Every structure is written in structure tokens, then in C-alpha cells.
A = this chain, B = another copy of it.
Amino acid sequence: MTNKIDNDSQLSIVNYQLNICIVGVGLIGGSFALTAKQKGIAKHIIGVCNREETKQKVLELELVDEVLPLEEAIKKSDLIYVAIPVDITVSVMQTIMDLVNDKQIVVDAGSTKFVLCEALKNHPMRKRFVATHPMWGTEYSGPEAAVKDAFIGRACVICEKNKSDEQAVAIVENIYKELGMHLVYMESEAHDMHAAYVSHISHITSFALANTVLEKEKEEDAIFELAGGGFESTVRLAKSNPAMWAPIFMQNRENVLDVLNEHISQLRKFKSALEKENLNYLNELMENANKIKRILK
């Protein structure tokens, strides 16, 4: 293992030329790999893949330079980047943390943070772990979904910063900045609550909206000739991978239920306005919703 990252006098990532191991070379891991190589953050990228066909695929797509088993990959890496479904992350991360030394950095990119941070809080190497959530994604998954220039302009949350080694955090911060992200700091509980509002609920409403329309389609085929732009944008997340999202919803169950209850109650207000033919109330609800312009450009 190279020891470039213990030279803390120079934090410009371009000089690091790190050996990076990507555990889970899919949408997030693959996009991270592509950009890290392109930006000169990574000198050498090792992929760790579960399935035989994925190993072939990630090499063909040139997302990584080589594919190795986890233990071997870790030995050769300065930084280990974990981007697998959040339920598997908890156990895989335990294995990884048991293998790293005090010069290596472990980063995860999962959409939930509390369960993982809790699981690792007493690990002797806890300080080598930086908990992050780069808030970018698409409805696609797997190595074919990886794209260059992902992450740009999006927020990356770093959780429980004070539990990680200062220099490890600084390096991870610099990497995400190089990728074009702005950083937000939160405790893991706060992250999970916010993520429920700005990401998890959007996926649930999309899934539910798709099911609403598909339910009707049993009776009527014509619907599909009409699907236009507005429909596409509200329903596209319904194409997302259940293997990725079910564990997120389960780990963040309480927050997601809170938001889901609030959302159902907001929908009921529209229902009530329509049932009572209350045009003023309907307008009031929509005018309030228009305030979202403050946030969306």
C-alpha cells in the first residue's frame, strides 16, 4: 500500500493520485470511478464486484483498472469507496473496517446514515471511516448506468464529521469538491430525516403513481398513448431498482412513515377541496405549493 495520504502538508487532490478501491461498481460507484480517474484523483482503480458478469462488464466499460477480491483490493488501496445497497453495507463495512490500517480511508455513499454510523461507532478504526451521502442519482442502476460528470452541482452530506480523523475528512471533502459537489454537515439522525423529505418520499410517490396508472391500464390501454412530459417527470423514479430502495425505506422506516403520513394528509386536502368544490381552498393549496419556486431554480 502506498502512503501518499499521510503527507498532510498538501491537500490538493490532484497531487494525490490515489489507489482507490470501489466496492460495488454500479450507478454511484461507477460514476465515482469515472470521474475520479478523469479528474486525476485516482491513479489506479480496483473494482470489487459480487457477480461474475459484473466483473466482466466493469472492465469492458473501463470503469476500473482491475477487479480483485475484497481483501486483496483493500491491501492495495489508499481509499475504499463503498457503494452497495444499504442493508449489505452494514455487514460488508464491518469486514472492511477490520482489514484497514490507520493510513487508509473508508468512505460509504449510502442513502441512509444512522444505522451504519451506529453499527460502526465502537469500531477501533472508526476514525478511518467517513460517512457520506452524495445526493445524486438516476432511476437507472448497475455499471451501465455510470456516467461521467455525475455529482456536479449537487449536495454531498458528511455525517458525524467529528468521529472521523480530521485529515481523512479533509481528503474526502476535497475529493467531493473536485467532483463539483457542495458539502453539508449533519448528524446521521438529521440526515436521515432530511433525506426522507427530499429524496425517499419522491421515490415512494413515483412508485405509487406508477401503480395507480398501471391499475387503470388493466381496463384501458389508451392511457399509454397519451403519457407526456409531466407524467414522465413525476413517474420516472418508479423505474428505480427495488433492491436498492427497499433497504433504504426499511432502514429509514420511521422518517419515511412520518413524511408519507404528511403527504397523504396533503393529498387529502386536495381531495376535500375538490369534493366540496371549494375553488378558493384549491387555489390556496396550489399557491402555497408555488412557494417551492424558492428552492427549485
Q: Which of A197-217 contact B (CB under 8 A)?
A: 197-199, 201-216
For residue A271, which residues in chain B have a CB less than 8 angstroms away from its CB?
257, 260-261, 264
Chain B residues closer than 8 Å to A293, beta-carbon distance: 239
CA of A206 to CA of B292 in the docked complex: distance in angstroms? 10
Asked whether, in the complex, the Cβ of A214 is within 8 Å of the Cβ of B292, the reply is yes
Interfacial chain B residues near A283, Cβ < 8 Å: 242, 246
User: Is residue A291 within 8 Å, beta carbon to beta carbon, of the partner chain?
Assistant: yes
Whether, in the assembled complex, A145 has its beta carbon less than 8 Å from a beta carbon of chain B, the answer is no
Docked Cα-Cα span, A288 to B69, in Å, equals 35
Given that A157-B226, A228-B135 are known contacts, is A234 also in contact with B212, CB under 8 Å in the complex?
A: no
Known contacts A214-B289, A257-B271, A286-B242; is-contact A209 B202 (Cβ 8 Å)? yes
| Interface flag for A16 (CB, 8 Å) | no
B contact residues around A195 at 8 Å (CB): 226
Assess whether A147 is interfacial by the CB under 8 Å rule: no
B288 and A214: CB pair below 8 A? yes
Question: Is A227 an interface residue when CB atoms closer than 8 A count as contact?
Answer: yes
Interface 9-mer from A55-63, A71-79, A273-281: A273-281
A138 B239 Cβ-Cβ under 8 A: no
A212 with B268: CB separation less than 8 A: no
Query: Would you call B214 and A267 a contact (CB within 8 A)?
Result: no
Q: Is A233 among interface residues, defined by CB-CB distance under 8 A? A: yes
Contact of A170 with B by CB under 8 A = no
Nearest chain B CB to A84 CB, angstrom units: 17
Q: Output the least CB separation between A29 and chain B (Å).
A: 18
User: For this complex, into which size category does the number of interface residues on chain A fall?
Assistant: 35 or more
- CB-contact partner of A250 in B226, B279, B295, under 8 A: B279
Whether the Cβ atoms of B205 and A209 lie closer than 8 Å is yes
User: Is the CB–CB distance between A235 and B292 below 8 Å?
Assistant: yes
Q: Which residue of B lies closest to A287 (CB)?
A: B242
Report which of B270, B290, B291 forms a contact with A204, defined as CB distance below 8 A: B270
Q: Which of A224-246 contact B (CB under 8 A)?
A: 224-240, 242, 245-246
Please tell me which one of the listed residues B198, B215, B220, B262 contacts residue A194 in the complex, with CB atoms under 8 A apart.
B220
Instruction: State whether the Cβ of A285 lies closer than 8 Å to any Cβ in chain B.
Output: yes
Q: Pick from B213, B233, B292: contact of A197, CB below 8 A.
A: B213
Residue A282 at the B interface, CB < 8 A? yes
> For A197, what are the chain B residues with a Cβ–Cβ distance below 8 Å?
212-213, 216, 223
Contact across chains for B236 and A296 when beta carbons are under 8 A apart:
yes
User: Would you give the shortest CB distance from A49 to chain B, in whole angstroms?
Assistant: 23
* Given A155-B228, A256-B274, A257-B271, A222 contacting B207 (CB threshold 8 A): no
Sampled A-B contacts (15; CB under 8 Å)? A194-B222, A197-B223, A198-B213, A198-B228, A202-B230, A202-B234, A208-B266, A208-B270, A211-B288, A238-B292, A239-B293, A245-B286, A250-B277, A250-B282, A261-B271
